[in-house]
Amino acid sequence: GAVVSQHPSRVICKSGTSVKIECRSLDFQATTMFWYRQFPKQSLMLMATSNEGSKATYEQGVEKDKFLINHASLTLSTLTVTSAHPEDSSFYICSANRGGAEAFFGQGTRLTVV
């Protein structure tokens, strides 16, 4: 149990377009999901905490209008990168908690903006 599925695993988009990444908890309900990004040779950096039915909580320095997060149900959170630019190219990872401290992670999404 405790599987988190992230889709797509890879996406290439043109500069100026928007990209949506989905994070689903397949066999449990997640009231809280987390979105991270990772630049090459750097740590996973927490971007935002996604709470079902309420607004996401963004970390300092993360543009909320740039990275739109919607947690519409207990099993789905989406991250939309709006008006993507090459500097947004990165590895994005979601995680979900099943009510305890342990986090369950998706496979990650490699975004390339050309």
Verify binding: residue 41, other proteins, rule CB under 8 A.
yes
When binding is defined by CB under 8 A, the residue of 32, 80, 82, 112 that contacts other proteins is 32
| Rounded distance between C-alpha atoms, residue 101 and residue 29, angstroms | 15
Alpha-carbon separation of residue 104 from 14, 39, 51, 60, 85 (angstroms)? 31, 20, 16, 23, 29
Residues 55-94, mask of contacts with other proteins (x by CB under 8 A): --x-----------------------------------x-
When binding is defined by CB under 8 A, the residue of 66, 74, 103, 110 that contacts other proteins is 103
End-to-end C-alpha distance for the chain, whole angstroms: 37
| Rounded distance between C-alpha atoms, residue 84 and residue 79, angstroms | 12
Q: What residues line the site for other proteins (CB under 8 A)? A: 4, 6, 9, 32, 34, 36, 38, 41-46, 49, 57, 93, 95, 97, 101-108
